[in-house]
């Protein structure tokens, strides 16, 4: 392959990167970079220039509105990997700490608590046996017996502990003195396992988990491979992907490339002894070699080229340190390169075994803490590249100590930014034997081995997460090569095109400097299909959302040429084991189509996927049918919904004094009526929408600001806005003078005070009905002020907005609701004993509302305050 006759001009400097910066969302736009003279005619009248970036590329358009599942979900539900809220401290006090730039607070105590609960035998086994005679856990008082002196009653302590758990997140949380006393007394001797050691290990593990949540590099390279059909032949290839609940099964699945790729037959399946992290494949001499990496094992399979031939496992190696890379040689059959986190690089040949090329726990160019190492092949079958976060070096396997050169360095040589690190290197041998791709968290570089250190192409990719996966679709001579970049956590997919000959073979074209062609293109992510799916039940929707938003775990792409029709198939694997596919079709060169058309088809909100296409006889597209089948299989596979973690409920038992619990003498007529109505509705199996009392003489409603009977101001405003005369509504509203409103408020407060004595059921509900409207009014006038006399309300309508924490101000007098909740009143209302706790829990859950989920790392989850609707 010829070296380009002239390269794009660039400055060259040595040393550490000088440019300050960080991720910028637009850094890759609007720049040609450099220009170079190059055109069909040499020295015509005028020189013709070509840009480094911004030349026209091929037009590829998505054939479907979303990615479509290729395989049915495997049986058995997927176990999601830990989320931030699983290991972060979630107490309100600690959130304040966290905002003080102290980084994440790991919930160390909870994890240790989990250990004690899950493995009590290991934690307290022998001491527990020794002490169990001395601990009494019964409810009754200790009898005065002989053992009196050596036995303590633990019930109160256990209750204290229970309450402590229930009060998690409570702002007025403080340790009970009894607990403090107990832990002080026995923390030195109670545990079987040395607590300091255990804590050290646990803390280390938590830090590891947290850092892998921030950036998980064990997935680098991706665990999906496509084995293309042999030239000519049937349009059938093979997908190699992991699956199963622990992702420890390896599947070789035949896939027929039709309009939508379709699995054919059952896959060849291998059970492995670890989670599959990476699947790499290369074709040598008509056979595919597939390398599979898990943490401590690497294996290699051979797949003969002819269709239907079974894959054969060839060899497995075990490593002491987790392996971080496995690549397959595209030059020699049965050769692979392996890196481990201890900084060792091996050349692994199935015939001759392992050859250690390098062992260096330090990074190459400057110090970086990451143990991640990578290695790949180069144009010379005996020369391997090896990489860490600081750059790439090439070494000759025949004399690895002596013969090596630097290929890429994070530094001024490549115009890097400060803090930039290598994320994924990849040999681009299928496009050009001496080209190399290096991605960092900010940019993507194309390098030529023959001109080391100076990238021949550089572009800021602007992806939100670092690209961990990449695949190449080489273009024929004169056409552009396509590179796909994929991120894990955000599921981003980006398609780039680059060219290394400007003017095509037909014009006697030769190698020329690399240029980026066309604009980068965002492809569908798996989670993007959610908006096109039919409406689901809320919990089902949540499950589906969780499943589809699982981080990506690999990608594979292939070009398919069917006569004049060229299309591109892109497979994406998620951590849940789902493989989704999308097809892009090539649009022949034409003047840019009216943008309105392609913008309409991809406009957000529209879902052409499930609309019946006019030309389809079945009424629904193939993609929709595919989805339907997939959804059905998914709901079958995950029949049992995972246990919901309910917000902790407050026990009411100790909150009330004995006097509080003494209910009214008997149920009032209104309560009777209510009960009757409740029973009747239950018998009918209907539901109660509004608790409008059907009594002929309702207790006087506290007067609201709006004319009674009218909608609350929010609804009114929305209605007005909807109708288009919002301005008029505003006019009317402002004319409603402030003084008048204040008077009305004062009036109302007085009435409320007077009405507090009434403990009627309806009062609690009516006041809760007015609650919303009152709040929105207050927010109109200024900062919300809480009326001191207003009793806290256990609202019937979801969580009350954060303005009034119901626990903060204890009621001055027994509130009507507490009367409702007290066990005596429940008893005297005829609610059986076993139901009472349920009802209390239910109501207390409503009162507290769901806990605020902690923020996921790196993203600003904006918390929208959605007003709860009044009716269910």
Q: CB-based contacts of 658: which residues, under 8 Å, 6+ apart?
A: none
Q: Is 36 in the site for another protein (CB under 8 A)?
A: yes
Q: Pick the binder of another protein from 105, 111, 209, 519 (CB under 8 A).
A: 519
- Choose, by CB under 8 A, the member of 100, 196, 564, 595 that binds another protein: 595
Q: How far is CA 716 from CA 390, 690, 735, 784, in A?
A: 61, 19, 16, 20
The residue within the footprint of another protein, chosen from 148, 306, 398, 629 (CB under 8 A), is: 398
Q: Provide the mask over 810-849, with x wherever binding to another protein is found by CB under 8 A and - wherever it is not.
A: ----------------------------------------
Give the up-direction half-sphere exposure of residue 870: CA atoms within 13 A in the CB hemisphere.
16
In whole angstroms, the minimum distance from the beta carbon of 10 to another protein comes to 5
Both tokens of residue 390? 């600081």
Residue 869 as a binder of another protein (CB under 8 A): the answer is no
Position 285 contacts another protein (CB under 8 A): yes
Residue 25 as a binder of another protein (CB under 8 A): the answer is yes
Question: Any contact of residue 450 with another protein (CB under 8 A)?
Answer: yes
Residue 52 or 547 having the CB closest to another protein: 52
Residue closer to another protein by CB (options 22, 850) is 22
Q: Pick from 429, 551, 577, 713: which binds another protein (CB under 8 A)?
A: 429
* 800 vs 418: CA distance, rounded Å: 47
Buried-exposed string 679-697: b where 16+ CB fall within 10 A, e elsewhere: eeeeeeeeeeeebebeeee
Smallest gap from Cβ 857 to another protein, in A, equals 18
Per-residue binding string, another protein, 341-380, x by CB under 8 A, is --------------------------------------xx
Question: d(Cα 353, Cα 341) in Å, to the nearest integer?
Answer: 20
Least spacing, CB of residue 488 vs another protein, in Å? 18
Q: Three-state SS across 150-187? A: HCEECHHHHHHHHHHHHCCCCCCCCCCHHHHHHHHHHC
Residue 532 or 840: which CB sits closer to another protein? 532
Q: How open is the CA angle 668-669-672, to the nearest 5 degrees?
A: 90
CA distance 491 to 528: 10
Distances (CA, A) of 16 to 13, 374, 438, 612: 9, 22, 18, 58
**Interface with another protein (CB under 8 A), residue from 126, 150, 506, 596:** 596
Out of 153, 382, 790, 829, name the contact with another protein by CB under 8 A. 382
605 binds another protein (CB under 8 A): no
Report whether 310 contacts 268 (CB < 8 A): yes
Kindly identify the residues of this chain, within the stretch 213-242, that bind another protein according to CB under 8 A: none
Q: Report the residue number, 57 or 243, with the smaller CB distance to another protein.
A: 57
Calpha distance 579→23 (Å, rounded): 30
Report if residue 653 touches another protein, rule: CB under 8 A: no
Residue 592 binds another protein (CB under 8 A):
yes
Separation between Cα atoms, residue 88 and residue 185, nearest integer Å: 29
Is the distance from CB of 396 to CB of 382 less than 8 angstroms?
A: yes
Shortest distance, position 29 Cβ to another protein, whole Å: 4
State the nearest-atom distance from the C-beta of 402 to another protein, in Å. 13
- Give whichever of 206 and 379 is closer to another protein, judged by the CB atom: 379
Q: Which of 16, 40, 41, 47 binds another protein (CB under 8 A)?
A: 47
Is position 11 an interface residue for another protein (rule: CB under 8 A)?
yes
Q: Which is nearer to another protein, 355 or 668 (CB)?
A: 355
Taking CA atoms, 761 is separated from 147, 565, 673, 756, in Å, by: 52, 72, 11, 12
Q: Which of residues 660-679 bind another protein (CB under 8 A)?
A: none
Q: Does 858 bind another protein (CB under 8 A)?
A: no
Answer yes or no whether residue 598 interacts with another protein by CB under 8 A: yes
The DSSP annotation for 15-78 comes to SS--B-----TTTTSS----EEE--SSTT-SS--EEESEEE---EEEESSSS-EE-SPPPSS--
- Residue 155 in contact with another protein, rule: CB under 8 A: no
Q: Return the residue of 16, 40, 41, 49 that touches another protein, per CB under 8 A.
A: 49
Nearer to another protein, 742 or 781 (CB): 781
User: Token pair for residue 841?
Assistant: 């829990």
446 binds another protein (CB under 8 A): no
The conformation of residue 430, written as its DSSP 8-state character, comes to T
698 lies in the binding site for another protein (CB under 8 A): no
The helix/strand/coil state of 739 is: helix
In angstroms, the CA 118 to CA 480 distance is 57
Q: With contacts defined by CB under 8 A, name the span among 33-41, 211-219, 251-259, 839-847 that binds another protein.
A: 33-41
Q: Does 850 bind another protein (CB under 8 A)?
A: no
Q: What angle do CA 14, 18, 23 make, to 5 degrees?
A: 125
Q: What is the DSSP string of 242-269?
A: EESTTS-EEEEEEEE-SSS-EEEEEEEE
Site for another protein (CB under 8 A): how many residues? 75
Instruction: Show contacts with another protein in window 64-123 (CB under 8 A).
Output: none
Query: Binding residue for another protein (CB under 8 A) from 304, 313, 322, 333?
Result: 333
Query: By the 8 A CB rule, do 248 and 242 touch?
Result: yes
Q: According to the binding rule CB under 8 A, does residue 477 interact with another protein?
A: no
In the chain, what's the furthest Cα-to-Cα distance?
116
What is the chain's alpha carbon radius of gyration, rounded to the nearest angstrom?
Answer: 34
Positions 479 through 508 that interact with another protein (CB under 8 A): 494
Asked whether position 779 contacts another protein by CB under 8 A, the answer is no
Which of residues 129, 133, 522, 754 is near another protein by CB under 8 A? 522
Q: Is 856 in the site for another protein (CB under 8 A)?
A: no
Contact between 646 and another protein per CB under 8 A? no
Out of 73, 299, 475, 520, name the contact with another protein by CB under 8 A: 520
């Amino acid at each position: 392959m010829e070296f380009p006759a002239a390269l794009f001009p660039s400055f060259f400097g040595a040393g550490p990167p000088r440019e300050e910066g960080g991720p910028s969302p637009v850094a890759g736009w609007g720049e040609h970079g450099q220009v170079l003279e190059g055109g069909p005619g040499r020295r015509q009248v005028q020189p013709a220039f070509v840009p480094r970036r911004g030349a026209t590329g091929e037009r590829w358009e998505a054939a479907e509105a979303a990615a479509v599942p290729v395989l049915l979900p495997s049986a058995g539900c997927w176990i999601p990997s830990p989320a931030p809220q699983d290991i972060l401290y979630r107490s309100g006090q600690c959130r304040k700490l966290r905002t003080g730039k102290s980084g994440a607070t790991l919930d160390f105590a909870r994890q240790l608590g989990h250990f004690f609960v899950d493995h009590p035998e290991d934690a307290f086994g022998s001491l527990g046996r020794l002490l169990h005679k001395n601990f009494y856990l019964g409810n009754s008082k200790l009898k005065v017996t002989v053992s009196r002196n050596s036995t303590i009653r633990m019930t109160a302590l256990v209750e204290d502990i229970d309450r402590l758990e229930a009060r998690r997140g409570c702002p007025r949380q403080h340790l009970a003195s009894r607990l403090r006393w107990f832990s002080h007394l026995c923390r030195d001797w109670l545990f079987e396992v040395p607590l300091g050691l255990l804590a050290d290990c646990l803390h280390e593990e938590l830090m590891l988990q947290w850092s892998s949540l921030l950036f998980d590099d064990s997935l680098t390279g991706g665990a999906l491979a496509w084995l293309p059909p042999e030239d000519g032949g049937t349009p059938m290839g093979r997908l190699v992907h992991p699956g199963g609940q622990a992702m420890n099964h390896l599947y070789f699945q035949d896939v027929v490339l039709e309009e939508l790729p379709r699995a054919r037959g059952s896959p060849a399946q291998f059970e492995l002894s670890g989670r599959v992290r990476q699947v790499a494949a290369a074709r040598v001499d008509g056979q595919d070699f597939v390398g599979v990496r898990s943490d401590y094992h690497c294996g290699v399979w051979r797949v003969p080229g002819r269709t239907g031939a079974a894959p054969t496992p060839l060899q497995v190696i075990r490593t002491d340190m987790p392996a971080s890379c496995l690549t397959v040689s595209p030059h020699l059959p049965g050769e692979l390169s392996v890196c481990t986190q201890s900084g060792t690089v091996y050349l692994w040949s199935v015939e001759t075994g392992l050859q250690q090329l390098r062992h260096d726990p330090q990074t190459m160019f400057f110090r970086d803490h990451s143990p991640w190492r990578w290695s790949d092949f180069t144009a010379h079958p005996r020369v391997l590249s090896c990489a860490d976060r600081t750059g790439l070096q090439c070494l000759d396997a025949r004399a690895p100590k002596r013969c090596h050169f630097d290929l890429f360095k994070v530094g001024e040589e490549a115009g890097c930014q400060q803090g930039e690190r290598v994320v994924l290197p990849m040999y681009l041998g299928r496009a050009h034997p001496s080209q190399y791709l290096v991605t960092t968290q900010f940019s993507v570089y194309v390098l030529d081995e023959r001109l080391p250190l100076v990238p021949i192409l550089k572009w800021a990719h602007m992806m939100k997460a670092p690209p961990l996966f990449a695949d190449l679709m080489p273009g024929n001579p004169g056409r552009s090569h396509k590179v796909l970049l994929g991120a894990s956590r955000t599921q981003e997919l980006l398609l780039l095109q680059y060219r290394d000959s400007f003017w095509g073979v037909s014009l006697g074209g030769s190698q020329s400097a690399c240029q980026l062609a066309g604009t980068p293109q965002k492809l569908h992510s798996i989670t993007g299909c959610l908006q096109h799916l039919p409406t689901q039940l809320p919990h089902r929707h949540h499950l589906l959302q969780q499943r589809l938003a699982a981080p990506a775990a690999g990608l594979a792409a292939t070009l398919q040429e069917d006569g004049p029709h060229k299309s591109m198939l892109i497979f994406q694997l998620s951590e849940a084991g789902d493989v989704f596919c999308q097809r892009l079709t090539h649009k022949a060169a034409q003047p840019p189509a009216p943008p309105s058309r392609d913008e309409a088809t991809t406009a957000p909100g529209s879902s052409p996927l499930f609309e019946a296409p006019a030309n389809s006889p079945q009424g629904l597209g193939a993609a929709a049918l595919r989805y339907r089948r997939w959804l059905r299989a998914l709901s079958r596979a995950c029949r049992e919904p995972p246990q919901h973690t309910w917000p902790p409920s407050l026990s009411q038992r100790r909150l009330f004094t004995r006097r509080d619990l003494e209910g009214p003498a008997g149920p009032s007529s209104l309560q009777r009526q209510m009960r009757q109505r409740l029973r009747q509705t239950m018998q009918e199996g209907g539901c109660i929408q509004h608790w409008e009392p059907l009594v002929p003489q309702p207790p006087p409603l506290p007067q609201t600001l709006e004319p009674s009977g009218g909608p609350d101001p929010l609804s009114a405003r929305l209605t007005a806005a909807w109708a288009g005369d919002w301005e008029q509504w505003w006019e009317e509203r402002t004319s409603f003078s402030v003084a008048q409103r204040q008077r009305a408020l004062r009036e109302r407060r007085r009435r409320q005070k007077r009405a507090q004595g009434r403990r009627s059921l309806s009062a609690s509900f009516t006041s809760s009905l007015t609650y919303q409207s009152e709040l929105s009014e207050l927010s109109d006038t200024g900062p919300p002020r809480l009326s001191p006399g207003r009793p806290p309300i256990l609202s019937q309508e979801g969580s009350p907005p954060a303005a009034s924490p119901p626990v903060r101000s204890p009621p001055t007098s027994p509130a009507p609701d507490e009367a409702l909740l007290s066990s005596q009143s429940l008893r005297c209302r005829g609610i059986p004993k076993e139901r009472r706790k349920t009802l209390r829990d239910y109501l207390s859950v409503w009162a507290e509302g769901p806990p605020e989920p902690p923020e996921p790392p790196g993203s600003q989850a904006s918390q929208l305050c959605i007003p709860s609707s009044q009716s269910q």
